Structure 1
């Protein structure tokens, strides 16, 4: 097969929404007092991409919010997207949200994003708040780590075959191939080269994955499209 030169990618809004869905921690900064909190396993995300922070991390913050105007306090929330596979340079993206933080009832705060900035490969991309609110997380977000680990530890032969598609059979100088990102539209591989250099390549699926149950079929379509159709 002739592999596409530009593999399909999720939109910036979709990728940002996926980071929100998959992240288990965030850094919260409140601009009024320069306060910064590390929140681990304390947030959820609702359908409008608002962050709900449970069990506020500091009583002083709760008191400050109680005295704030109805719109709450200006705040920033920062997320780091880390590759679940243990490789060098594991940061895949960073997401920064700016907006308003307010009380949403006993022991709950709500952060309403007004704007978002997605940083990938040293390039910062602005994401409109409306687009972020309308986006849905990738269907593989919650199981990505398990699926990548399965590929990394048990299917080195498949990783070589996939790399063949984009390297046209030339694997010279490549010591190891690691899977580092998976979404409904494709798979990204890291090629570790002799001397320590790394190169990331992406393969777009011919058919989008609807869930973890058909990732294997999507990969098979890439390796042998004729077989996968039967």
Structure 2
């Protein structure tokens, strides 16, 4: 049995959604007029208000729609898919859809202003407003998460097994491999892979990681005998 962590074990939906925005390198943009869809890879950035600034994808149909749009802009929605950086089954961790208006903002530049957001994981969809999304900070581990998860996956299988054995609800019965699938300042998500499926278990840190340099210390803290009561 492990002592309870001192912090809330999971980031809020708004924080997770903002983190997806910060990490994504691609999005699908769909205009509501005619359901025209464009896949944009490495064309966008996110400003402090969670608006998307896009390089014009030079799509003739989109250019025509923008030219005929009212002053408020073209109604559209942007879709993001959050994929685990380690090669596991069912790699999609979450999906984020922003609904809003798309306008031109100078030569070769578009701005998408979200009004609403829908964040989904585990087949559950939660609605967020634009203000909550804009106010939420991205997780401080975002940029280094792929590297850190890859390091745990390939170099510290023994540590992952120890954590899963401590925090998994049923121990490691039938588990063939333990994989790390998500990491944030508040904790780690482990996937317990079995022959006929898998389970994910959340391992919350006792104290938040302030940055990538903190992750090793936070994991060691979880395995410290001082926090484990038999």
- What's the counterpart of residue 94 of structure 2? 93
The alignment yields a C-alpha RMSD, in angstroms, of: 1.9
CA distance in 2, matches of 1:7, 1:157: 26
- What's the counterpart of residue 219 of structure 2? 219
Q: Structure 2: 5+ residue runs without aligned partners?
A: none
CA distance in 1, matches of 2:16, 2:170: 31
| Superimposed CA distance per residue, residues 98-119 of structure 1 (whole angstroms, 9 cap, x where no aligned partner) | 0000011111100000000001
Mapping of residues 179-190 of structure 1, within 5 Å: 179-190=180-191
1:207 partnered with 2:224: no
Give the superposition deviation at 1:168.
7.2
Mapping of residues 28-107 of structure 1, within 5 Å: 28-107=29-108
Report if aligned partners of 2:168, 2:201 keep a CA contact under 8 Å in 1.
no
Give the superposition deviation at 1:34.
1.8
Give the superposition deviation at 1:161.
1.1
After superposition, the Cα gap between the structure-2 partners of 1:3 and 1:226, relative to the gap in structure 1 and judged at 3 Å, is closer
How many residues align structurally?
226
Report if aligned partners of 2:75, 2:102 keep a CA contact under 8 Å in 1.
yes
CA distance in 2, matches of 1:108, 1:117: 25
Give the superposition deviation at 1:214.
0.9
Give the superposition deviation at 1:167.
3.2
- What's the counterpart of residue 198 of structure 2? 198
Report if aligned partners of 1:39, 1:57 keep a CA contact under 8 Å in 2.
no
CA distance in 2, matches of 1:25, 1:215: 27
Report if aligned partners of 2:99, 2:117 keep a CA contact under 8 Å in 1.
yes
CA distance in 2, matches of 1:40, 1:159: 34
CA distance in 2, matches of 1:209, 1:105: 40
After superposition, the Cα gap between the structure-2 partners of 1:94 and 1:35, relative to the gap in structure 1 and judged at 3 Å, is same
CA distance in 1, matches of 2:58, 2:9: 40
Provide the TM-score with structure 2 as the length reference.
Answer: 0.93
Give the superposition deviation at 1:226.
4.7
Q: Secondary structure at the match of 1:209?
A: coil
Q: Which moved more, 1:3-12 or 1:25-34?
A: 3-12
- What's the counterpart of residue 28 of structure 2? 27
- What's the counterpart of residue 12 of structure 1? 13
Q: Secondary structure at the match of 2:159?
A: helix
After superposition, the Cα gap between the structure-2 partners of 1:48 and 1:225, relative to the gap in structure 1 and judged at 3 Å, is farther
Give the superposition deviation at 1:66.
2.9
Q: Which moved more, 1:145-154 or 1:6-15?
A: 6-15
Give the superposition deviation at 1:184.
0.4
Moved over 6 A (4+): none
CA distance in 1, matches of 2:154, 2:141: 19
CA distance in 2, matches of 1:225, 1:185: 20
